[in-house]
């Protein structure tokens, strides 16, 4: 239905979870501009989005299928892919096949991957790089609300009279949303930033709490205690809508009994802690935004719940300007959650642990192969590959050889895996180097589908460029392999709209209100209506339903008794601790102008002007301590795994802690990987790695 045209096409930015609308033009000289009609950005774009047109040419693209390094036809590539899967299943069972997906995939692609793997091949081992991004927030939402649902919307970040940002450098990682937060400045509005380092986002802060890394739960447990002791708890709301307050408060009193204890544990001034608590107490319109700084931790789920506990205790959930708010990293991490892209979930926000859910999904797909229990989460999946338990790994639109922690082990695992299949739009990624089968995927501008942003808003990504070389959409590739495997009847899709209608229908199937994720109102979209679909926030229950900007505002939640749960949170500190050999704490994260492993953003020269090389932010005291100099090169060493970067003297770092960017790989610099400095330690509930707390030694290069 989509017509490729040199006229502007309304589509969506493929980078971060803000999900900005883009007006894109194809033709000989592609161009982009912000879409003023899109509710997420109202015409704004950050520098990454504004340079998207620099990344759409065919330089560095994977333009044809390859098997064992040789260019082959699609027929041969699909046949080889299907044969590898068929053989592994026959010889080792369905659990010997694993899929590693990505928040870069469109919802339609993601849906097909899950249906093929979980529904027909019968393997539960489907996980995604979103595991590294926000899986802790998912687990926290489920514990508190009974569903993985963000209660608020972007407007709440503007309406809040107190905006608390935890582990979020939104100025660099959610730039357009940050612009909205900044533009909302007004008399009486306050911003508190909680982050162990001073960042560009700190400019917005009336109060910055540079807490000791990993002590967020102490700070929020202390807040719960302080609220309880200062008449700050909404007892009526708790009585009517919540369980678990008494146990949560009792645990909080043990973990964070008073201001002095909180200040000491978090390494903060007592007066600053009290100021934060007082502002929170006084301000009904409070939003707490939390992001990777909270999620990427051995206690990531607990951090989310400690934050949500305080919102539940004050009745500040799903109300205008009052909610906890998880800031999602990737463009379609949320869409992946909708279709079951995480190893511990089934499609349409259903769960393995519920036999009714499993039966429902199996019934809808007409399959008797839906696994009984969850699959391996990302880090465990690569451990299993390393052990030899997985015989076929299919990686789509992501680069685990750079992004997963302990990259030496990940690369060994990829080397050992008998068959590695990589679908990607780029030819020369670090992971592609390990591929036995390379499948060229359509790039941004060439594919059609939907994505869901951090505020549950579903937007269309539309095609405005011809497919490069022999590239094909991911859904087409997987549906073709499914047909090769003999599942053709269940994968007879002609276009993304067919898949979206099925995805929407599954969300409504047997759903009498038990599941908040429901797109029942979108099941009847014809192709034209799908093509014209306007951005809309789920749930969408009927054809004339305009979606929901907020959830749970009426106090009804998704646990079977309809109530929310406060969770008792004990203090769990980072597992990887500095010692004599590795005395520095390593914090890893993004920079403003690059995206993930730079396979696309490095194509735009302007995006390299902001930071052109890997760097290490070091506190001035540590320059002297480790004998490194500002602007000199230095080496961070984690048990022999090294990262070389340009030292930047950074007053905003706490002494004893350094920050390094995650983006550069061997491919660009040969200077080592940030992920080599972090360990495979994960949150026991979410499986999210502790990427904010590695350790290393530092010396001049």
Element (H, E) at 288: strand 286-290
Candidates 9-17, 183-191, 341-349, 646-654: pick the segment binding ligand SF4 (CB under 6 A).
9-17
CB-nearer residue toward ligand SF4: 564 or 662? 662
Instruction: Determine the straight-line distance between the first and last CA of the chain, rounded to whole angstroms.
Output: 56
Closer residue to ligand SF4 (CB): 489 or 605: 605
Smallest gap from residue 16 Cβ to ligand SF4 (A)? 3
The binder of ligand SF4 chosen from 9, 23, 24, 45 (CB under 6 A)? 45
Nearest Cα to 313, choosing from 236, 259, 391, 388? Answer: 236
Distinct helix (H) and strand (E) counts, the chain: 23, 26
Kindly indicate which of the ranges 17-25, 344-352, 405-413, 431-439 contains the residues binding ligand SF4, using the contact rule CB under 6 A: 17-25
Q: Please list, in sequence order, all residues whose beta carbon lies within 8 angstroms of the beta carbon of residue 267, skipping any fewer than 6 positions away.
A: 211, 212, 215, 654
Query: Nearest approach, Cβ of 508 to ligand SF4 (angstroms)?
Result: 29
Q: How far apart are CA 435 and CA 69, in angstroms?
A: 8
Q: How far is the CB of 46 from ligand SF4 (least distance, A)?
A: 3
> Which part of the chain contacts ligand SF4 (CB under 6 A), choosing from 39-47, 111-119, 545-553, 678-686?
39-47
Least distance from C-beta 52 to ligand SF4, angstroms?
8
Q: What is the DSSP string of 541-579?
A: -STT----S--STTS--SSTTS-EE---------SS---
Rounded least distance, CB 17 to ligand SF4, Å: 7
Which residues, 477 to 506, sit near ligand SF4 by CB under 6 A? none
Q: Closer to ligand SF4 at the Cβ: 1 or 608?
A: 608
From 15-23, 66-74, 359-367, 421-429, give the range in contact with ligand SF4 by CB under 6 A: 15-23
Q: Does 46 bind ligand SF4 (CB under 6 A)?
A: yes
Which H helix or E strand runs over 644? strand 641-649
Binding letters toward ligand SF4, positions 117-156, x by CB under 6 A: ----------------------------------------
Stretches 12-20, 91-99, 245-253, 561-569: which one binds ligand SF4 (CB under 6 A)?
Answer: 12-20
* CA distance linking residue 186 with residue 158, whole number of Å: 10
Based on the number of CB atoms within 10 Å of its own CB, is 433 exposed (0-12), middle (13-18) or buried (19 or more)?
A: middle
* Residue whose CB is less far from ligand SF4, 24 or 112: 24
Closer of 343 and 591 to ligand SF4 (Cβ): 591
Q: Is 106 in the site for ligand SF4 (CB under 6 A)?
A: no
Q: Which is nearer to ligand SF4, 444 or 557 (CB)?
A: 444
- Specify the residue, 129 or 217, whose C-beta has the smaller distance to ligand SF4: 129
| Residue 210 sits in the site that holds ligand SF4 (CB under 6 A) | no
Question: At its nearest, how many Å lie between ligand SF4 and the CB of residue 341?
Answer: 19
Residue (15 or 100) nearer to ligand SF4, CB: 15
Q: Report yes or no: 450 and 459 within 8 Å, Cβ to Cβ.
A: yes
Q: Give the whole-angstrom CA distance, residue 435 versus residue 396.
A: 11
Note whether 39 binds ligand SF4 by CB under 6 A: no
Q: Is 19 in the site for ligand SF4 (CB under 6 A)?
A: yes
DSSP assignment, residue 119? I
**Site residues (CB under 6 A) for ligand SF4, limited to 594-623:** none
To ligand SF4, the closest distance from the beta carbon of 325 in angstroms equals: 16
The correct pick among 15, 99, 120, 154 for binding ligand SF4 (CB under 6 A) is: 15
Q: Are strands 242-243 and 31-34 parallel, antiparallel or unpaired?
A: unpaired
Between 592 and 646, name the residue whose CB sits nearer to ligand SF4. 592
Strand 633-638, strand 641-649: pairing: antiparallel
Q: What is the DSSP letter of 689?
A: B
Closest-approach residue to ligand SF4 (CB): 49
Residue 20 or 438: which CB sits closer to ligand SF4?
A: 20
Residue among 18 and 139 whose Cβ is closer to ligand SF4: 18
Window contacting ligand SF4 (CB under 6 A); options: 18-26, 218-226, 418-426, 460-468:
18-26
**Positions in 160-179 near ligand SF4 (CB under 6 A):** 175-176
HSE at residue 77, side-chain half, CA atoms within 13 A, is 27
Tokens for 112, please give them: 């097909």
Nearer to ligand SF4, 16 or 77 (CB): 16
CB of 179 vs ligand SF4, minimal distance in Å? 8
Q: Is 270 exposed, middle or buried (0-12, 13-18, 19+ CB in 10 A)?
A: middle
Q: Residue 490 CA to chain centroid, in angstroms?
A: 29
Q: Using the rule CB under 6 A, which residue among 49, 304, 443, 539 binds ligand SF4?
A: 49
Angle, in degrees to the nearest 10, between helices 300-313 and 216-229: 20
Question: Quick one: 174 or 241, whose CB is closer to ligand SF4?
Answer: 174
With H, G, I as helix, E, B as strand and everything else as coil, classify residue 124: coil
Whether residue 179 contacts residue 208, with contact meaning beta carbons closer than 8 Å, is answered with no
Quick one: 528 or 609, whose CB is closer to ligand SF4? 609
Inter-residue contact 176 to 18 (CB < 8 Å): yes
Where would I find the H helices in 174-299? 175-183, 216-229, 235-241, 245-255, 259-266, 270-282, 292-295
**Distance in angstroms (rounded) separating the CA atoms of residues 642 and 346:** 38
Considering only 10, 25, 38, 48, the residue that binds ligand SF4 (CB under 6 A) is 48
Q: Residue 335 and residue 289: Cα distance in Å, rounded? A: 20
Enclosing H/E stretch for 416: helix 407-416
Tokens of 103: 């928040």
- Minimum distance of ligand SF4 from residue 177's CB (angstroms): 7
Shortest reach from residue 458's CB to ligand SF4, in Å: 15
Q: Which of 18, 281, 390, 696 binds ligand SF4 (CB under 6 A)?
A: 18
The interface region with ligand SF4, picked from 46-54, 132-140, 360-368, 620-628 by CB under 6 A, is: 46-54
Number of chain residues interacting with ligand SF4 (CB under 6 A): 13
Q: What are phi and psi of 196, to 5 degrees?
A: -70, -5
Element (H, E) at 363: helix 355-365
Strand residue runs (E) in 88-131:
97-101, 126-128
Q: What angle do CA 174, 182, 590 make, to 5 degrees?
A: 25
> In this chain, which of 16, 126, 312, 350 binds ligand SF4, going by CB under 6 A?
16
Which residue in the set 10, 11, 13, 695 belongs to the binding site for ligand SF4 (CB under 6 A)?
13
Question: Do the Cβ atoms of 277 and 226 come closer than 8 Å?
Answer: yes
Residue 457 φ/ψ region, left for φ over 0, alpha for ψ in the -120 to 50 degree band, beta for the rest: beta
Under the rule (CB under 6 A), what is the footprint of ligand SF4?
13, 15-16, 18-20, 41, 45-46, 48-49, 175-176
């Amino acid at each position: 239905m989509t017509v490729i045209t040199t006229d502007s096409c309304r589509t969506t930015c493929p980078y971060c979870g803000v999900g900005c609308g883009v007006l894109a033009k194809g033709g000989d000289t592609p161009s982009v501009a912000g879409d003023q009609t899109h509710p997420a950005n109202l015409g704004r774009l950050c520098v990454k989005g504004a340079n998207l047109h620099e990344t759409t040419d065919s330089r560095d693209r994977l333009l044809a299928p390859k098997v064992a390094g040789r260019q082959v036809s699609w027929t041969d590539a699909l046949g080889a892919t299907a044969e590898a899967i068929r053989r592994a299943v026959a010889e080792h069972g369905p659990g010997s096949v694993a899929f590693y997906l990505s928040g870069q995939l469109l919802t339609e692609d993601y849906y097909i991957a899950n249906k093929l793997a979980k529904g027909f091949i019968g393997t539960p081992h489907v996980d995604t790089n979103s595991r590294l991004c926000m899986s802790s927030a998912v687990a926290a939402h489920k514990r508190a609300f009974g569903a993985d649902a963000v209660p608020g919307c972007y407007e709440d970040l503007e309406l809040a009279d107190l905006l608390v940002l935890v582990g979020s450098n939104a100025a660099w990682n959610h730039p357009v949303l940050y612009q909205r937060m900044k533009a909302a400045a007004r008399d009486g509005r306050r911003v508190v930033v909680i982050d162990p380092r001073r960042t560009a986002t700190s400019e917005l802060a009336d109060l910055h709490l540079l807490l000791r890394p990993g002590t967020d739960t102490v700070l929020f447990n202390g807040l719960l205690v302080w609220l309880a002791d200062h008449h700050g708890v909404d007892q009526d709301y708790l009585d009517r809508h919540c369980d678990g307050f008494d146990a949560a408060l009792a645990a909080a009193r043990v973990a964070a009994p008073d201001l002095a204890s909180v200040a000491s544990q978090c390494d903060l001034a007592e007066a600053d802690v009290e100021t934060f608590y007082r502002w929170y107490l006084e301000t009904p319109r409070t939003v707490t935004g939390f992001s990777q700084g909270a999620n990427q931790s051995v206690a990531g789920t607990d951090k989310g719940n400690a934050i949500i506990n305080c919102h539940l205790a004050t009745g500040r959930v799903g109300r205008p300007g009052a909610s906890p708010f998880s800031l999602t990293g990737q463009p379609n991490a949320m869409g992946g959650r909708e279709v079951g892209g995480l190893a511990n979930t089934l499609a349409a926000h259903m769960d393995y642990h519920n036999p009714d859910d499993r039966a429902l999904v199996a019934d809808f797909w007409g399959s008797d192969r839906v696994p009984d229990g969850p699959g391996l989460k990302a880090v465990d999946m690569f451990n299993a590959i390393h052990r030899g338990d997985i015989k076929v790994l299919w990686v789509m639109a992501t680069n685990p050889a750079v992004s997963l922690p302990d990259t030496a082990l990940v690369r060994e695992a990829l080397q050992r895996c008998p068959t590695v299949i990589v679908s990607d739009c780029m030819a020369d990624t670090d992971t592609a180097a390990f591929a036995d089968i390379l499948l060229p995927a359509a790039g941004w501008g060439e594919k059609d589908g939907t994505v869901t942003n951090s505020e549950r808003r579903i937007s269309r990504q539309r095609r405005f460029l011809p497919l490069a070389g022999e590239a094909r959409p991911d859904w087409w590739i997987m549906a073709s392999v499914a047909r090769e495997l003999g599942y053709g009847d269940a994968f007879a899709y002609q276009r993304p709209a067919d898949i979206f209608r099925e995805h929407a229908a599954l969300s409504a199937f047997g759903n009498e209100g038990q599941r908040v994720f429901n797109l029942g109102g979108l099941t009847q979209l014809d192709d034209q209506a799908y093509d014209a679909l306007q951005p809309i926030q789920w749930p969408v229950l009927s054809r004339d339903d305009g979606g929901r900007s907020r959830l749970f505002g009426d106090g009804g939640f998704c646990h079977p008794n309809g109530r929310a749960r406060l969770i008792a949170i004990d203090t769990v500190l980072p597992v990887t601790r500095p010692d004599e050999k590795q005395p520095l704490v390593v914090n890893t994260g993004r920079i403003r102008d690059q995206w993930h492993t730079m396979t696309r953003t490095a194509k735009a020269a302007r995006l390299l002007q902001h930071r052109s090389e890997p760097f290490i932010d070091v506190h001035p005291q540590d320059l002297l301590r480790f004998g490194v100099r500002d602007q000199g090169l230095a080496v961070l060493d984690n048990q022999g795994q090294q990262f070389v970067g340009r030292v930047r003297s950074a007053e905003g770092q706490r002494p004893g802690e350094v920050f390094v960017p995650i983006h550069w790989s061997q491919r660009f610099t040969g200077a080592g990987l940030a992920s080599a400095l972090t360990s495979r330690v994960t949150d026991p509930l979410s499986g999210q790695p502790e990427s904010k707390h590695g350790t290393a030694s530092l010396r001049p290069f």
